[in-house]
Chains A and B, each alone.
Chain A
Amino acid sequence: MSTETVHITPYRTYAWVLIALLTFTFLTITVTWIDLSALTVFVALTIATIKAGVVLTYFMHLKFESSLFRVFVIMVLAIYVLVILFTLSDYLFR
């Protein structure tokens, strides 16, 4: 494994990522202040998912790791989404 090329992420990238994450956080808070009733949860969860994606990609280095890591993460998340869909389809439509 000594042939791996080491990717050094510049400090600047992390600073921008942090600014983006903080912006998204304030966006979530603002959105929940405006009452969108049923849409609120949807919007809040969408923003949370975007934030999670940013954390996984940059902070957790998935962008710079071997694609094997990305495949694993996508598979695990896909399995979890399937579990949610099956469970909710059972509870909502029984």
Chain B
Amino acid sequence: MEHRDDMGAKLGMWVFIFTEILLFGGLFLVYAVMRGRYSADFHSAAHHLNAFIGTINTLVLLVSSATVAMSITAVQKGDKRLAVVLLFLTLVCAAVFMVNKYFEWGHKFQIGLYPGSDLMLTMNHGQVMFFSLYFFMTGLHMFHLVVGGIILTIAMIKVNRGTINSTRYVLLENGGLYWHLVDLIWIFLFPLLYLIT
């Protein structure tokens, strides 16, 4: 009889998620204070962000969260094929998000807007603050998205091999929790960065 503790594994994952919440929470706190100080600058700087790409990425992330959640149901019901398809769809969503981000950031870099650029040196302090937070927070979020994508890729392979199955699937559950965290952070990033113009 093997030893395992699925609830313990999930609890461990949640503790990790709490540290992530406090990591991004600190950044949101910086945002709140700086926005209070330089609200006019934040408003004018946010005009440079592409709200359309932001909206598309929000929809893509919400759909991907639903497909991960559904993949767990599929595994629980023993529907291996559907679970793999749903996880693959999630990874497609992640890829769409990354491509959008590539174009979004690429455009900003092209017009010379990136941390430490000459253009940013000509801006006033509040605008520099906004763009620094924008690049750092969306960058850190994107990093989490890549890590989540790797975890879900491993989970997808394991589902396909049958090592994740209807009797043991805690890895997929924890990978899903991580993915929902990525979604959760974006839910707050999107209105605060893209919609405050």
Contacts and interface: CB of A to CB of B under 8 A. Distances in A.
B32 A9 contact: no
B73 A10 contact: yes
For this complex, into which size category does the number of interface residues on chain A fall? 35 or more
A59 B59 contact: no
B36 interface: yes
Given A6-B76, A8-B76, A72-B14, A48 B188 contact: yes
A59 B32 CA distance: 28
Contacts of A29: 51, 55, 195
- Which among A45, A52, A60 has the highest number of chain B CB atoms within 10 Å? A60
Interface residues of chain B: helix, strand, loop or mixed (majority)? helix
A72 B8 contact: no
Contacts of A56: 180, 184
Given A8-B77, A22-B59, A55-B183, A14 B14 contact: no
Contacts of A32: 191, 195-197
A59 B184 CA distance: 10
Contacts of B21: 76-77, 80
Nearest to B9: A1
Contacts of B173: 61
B54 to A, nearest CB: 9
Nearest to A65: B10
Contacts of A8: 73, 76-77
Given A15-B66, A55-B183, A69-B14, A92 B195 contact: no
Given A60-B177, A66-B7, A28 B33 contact: no
21 contacts: A1-B5, A1-B6, A4-B6, A14-B66, A14-B70, A14-B73, A18-B65, A18-B66, A21-B65, A21-B66, A28-B191, A28-B195, A29-B195, A44-B196, A52-B188, A55-B184, A59-B69, A65-B10, A69-B11, A73-B14, A83-B29
Interface of B: 4-8, 10-11, 14, 18, 21-22, 25, 29, 32-33, 36-37, 51, 55, 58-59, 62-63, 65-66, 68-70, 72-73, 76-77, 173, 176-177, 180, 183-184, 187-188, 190-192, 195-197
